[in-house]
Amino acid sequence: MSATLIEVAEVGRTYAMGGLFSRHRVRAVDSVSFAMETARPEIFTIIGESGSGKTTLARMILNMVAPTEGAIRFRGTDLSTIRGAEARLKFMRAVQPIFQNPFEAFNPLKRVDRYLFMTARRVAGLPEGEVEGAADTALRNVGLSLAEIRGRFPHELSGGQLQRVAIARALIPSPALIVADEPVSMIDASLRISVVNLLRRLRDEMGMSIIYITHDLATAYYISDRIIIMRKGQVVESGDARTVLDRPQHPYSIALKAAVLSPDGTNEKTEVTSHA
């Protein structure tokens, strides 16, 4: 079927962990299935417990980790059959990641602009003259500009700036699917809204599909079309985002929603001995 963009079929991944004698196995992802259609770009949100396998699942979709069970097909091609540099570049043109931690996303010894130029040159395949322009356009999409970023090392930028550079880099080849692993966890509320709005614009105007992993139920509610909730490697609940978040059915989803801190609420606090 050529109409599916990505199909995740009964995918699982097991890791062995521990020392030589106390080996045990971790089932990081356990038979997860879902599919996304090419014709209907959407924001597909994955929410779940910390350590429930969201990142592992994302890495399998990005073809960075091979599943131990099941298969993932992108536009009908099984990811495990992608071999060779050309095929891989072609895959990267269509699927790009945004990672969890902006402080780790760039080599601390290198300037960040090299990643933008490199992506424009090699993944997007632009001629040398258009490279800088493409980098600048992408940066402007996230509220930065090449003039600000050029020549800077990662430690000279704040977490929010780095995360926006990381998003800009992923946008350069205009991918069909973006896998964003907690892209807004390190940026402020106002910027978070702009980034989330940006993701929405990518979907609406550029027709990109987005897999959005987050712990923030509020932004998930705000932008997603569909949602799955994961726990211990398994999907415990899935469906239309608003429906699931408004009326969660599974006990874990209910607990999750109940644990969301409200900006209006105040829990009990201790007495302050001295006020300044």
Partner 1 sequence: MTAPALSVTGLRAYYRTSHFGVEREVKAVDDIDFQVGVNEIYGIAGESSCGKSTLIKTIAAAIRPPLKVLAGSVVFNFGGRAVDVYRAGEREIDGIRWRHLSYIMQGSMNVLNPVRRVRNSFVDFAFRHIGRSTAEFTRVVVDHLKRLHLEPEVLDAYPHQLSGGMRQRVAIALATVCRPEFIIADEPTTALDVIVQKGVLAMIRDVQREIGSSLIFVTHDLAVHANLCHRLGIMYAGRLVEEGPTSEVFRQPLHPYTQHLVSSLPRIGDAEPKKGLEGAPPSLADPPSGCRFHPRCPVAMDVCRGNVPPMVTVAPGRRVACFVAAPESRP
Partner 2 sequence: MGKVLRDLFRFNREFAAGVILLGFVVLIASLSFVSPYPPNDSFVVPPDLPPSWAHWLGTTSRGQDLFWLLTFAIRNTLLFGFTVAAISRVLSLVIGLVAGYAGGIVDRVLMSINDTFIVLPLFPILVLFYFVMRDKMSWILLALVMACLGWAYDARLIRSVAMGLRTREFTETSIFSGMKMRQILVQDHLPYVLPIVFSTTMNNINWSIGLEVTLSVLGFTDINTPTIGVLVYWANQHTAMVAGIWWWIAFPIGLVIVTFIGLFLLAVSMNEFIDPRSRLSRIG
Q: Identify the CA nearest to 216 among candidates 187, 243, 250.
A: 187
Q: Exposed (0-12), middle (13-18) or buried (19+): which is 1, by Cβ within 10 Å? A: exposed
Query: Are 95 and 250 spatial neighbours (Cβ–Cβ below 8 Å)?
Result: no
Buried b / exposed e along 240-257 (16+ C-beta atoms within 10 A): ebeebbeebeeebbeebb
Based on the shown chain and the rule CB under 6 A, indicate whether residue 159 belongs to the binding site for ligand ATP. yes
Q: Identify the CA nearest to 171 among candidates 144, 202, 196, 201.
A: 202
Tokens matching residue 58: 């994302």
User: Considering only residues 126, 170, 196, 202, which one is a binding residue for partner 2 as defined by CB under 8 A?
Assistant: 170
State how far the Cα of 35 lies from the Cα of 132, in Å rounded to an integer.
36
Residue 118 or 193: which CB sits closer to partner 2? 118
Based on the shown chain and the rule CB under 6 A, indicate whether residue 56 belongs to the binding site for ligand ATP. yes
Residue 139 beta carbon to partner 1: minimum distance, rounded to whole angstroms = 11
Residue 51's binding partner out of Mg ion, partner 2, ligand ATP, none, with CB under 5 to 8 Å set by partner kind: ligand ATP
State how far the Cα of 47 lies from the Cα of 28, in Å rounded to an integer.
15
Residue 179 or 195: which CB sits closer to partner 2? 179
Count the residues of the shown chain that bind partner 1, applying the rule CB under 8 A. 68
At residue 136, the 3 state secondary structure works out as helix
User: Considering only residues 16, 20, 39, 85, which one is a binding residue for partner 2 as defined by CB under 8 A?
Assistant: 85
Based on the shown chain and the rule CB under 5 A, indicate whether residue 55 belongs to the binding site for Mg ion. yes
By CB under 8 A, name the binding residues for partner 2. 62, 64, 85, 89, 92, 96-97, 99-101, 104-110, 115, 118-119, 121-123, 153, 155-156, 166, 169-170
Q: Which residues bind ligand ATP (CB under 6 A)?
A: 15, 17, 26, 28, 48, 50-56, 155-160
State the residues that interact with partner 1 by CB under 8 A.
15, 17-19, 22, 24, 47-52, 55, 100-101, 103-104, 143, 148, 151, 156-161, 182, 185-194, 196-197, 215, 217-219, 221-222, 242, 245-246, 255-257, 259-267, 269-276
